[in-house]
Amino acid sequence: MNINFTGRIALVTGAGKGIGRCIAIKLSELGAKVFAVSRTEADLDSLKEEDSAIETRCLDIGNWKNTRKVIEDVGRVDLLVNNAGIVRHKSVLEASEEFTDEHFDVNFKAALNISQIVAKGIISRKGSGAIVNISSISGILTAPGFPMYCSTKAAIDMLTKSMALECVPFKNKKKLPIQLHSCSVTMHQ
């Protein structure tokens, strides 16, 4: 199977480390023009050293307005991988408003925010594209001490389903312009 993304523009959040970094590098190897987003400049610098073709954007995607400006400035995006996420340990009884907001801002609201920009762009240019939301088995099975992470991953799964339903009216007979996917990823240490 020959997979080729030449001429396609991809944006990957959480691309500084782990899964997001691997996705960004692989998409670049497959010919995509990749924009890698991370909130850690040092991670982006090392990614750029590994693959100089990747464009980087240092950004805290938890900031709605600033994220909109930076992502809109990227321009056309054909493939979005919403991979960025945080996971911190606090029980339901310990979770503060700030702790809860931080999880929802990064794990859920940022994916919605960036997806809106990308989907509207695909629709307005009558193009085609895909949005992949990286989720977790924790959206289905909970773990003690991680109620906010689990809740945000359940929310991202439902957001993906909702977006897929709402994009159906833009379907034509030849292709569905926006394909939406939610991938559950489990990392073992």
Residues marked active site are found at 149, 153
- Picking from 50, 75, 62, the residue whose alpha carbon sits closest to that of residue 14 is 62
Q: Which two tokens stand for residue 150?
A: 């689990």
Question: Are 34 and 47 in contact, with CB atoms under 8 Å apart?
Answer: no
User: What are the two backbone dihedrals, phi and then psi, of residue 5, each rounded to the nearest 5 degrees?
Assistant: -110, 20
Half-sphere exposure of 174 (CA within 13 A, CB side): 3
DSSP for 126-180 reads T--EEEEEEE-GGGTS--TT-HHHHHHHHHHHHHHHHHHHHHGGG--SS--SEEE
∠ at Cα 50 (181, 24), nearest 5°?
5
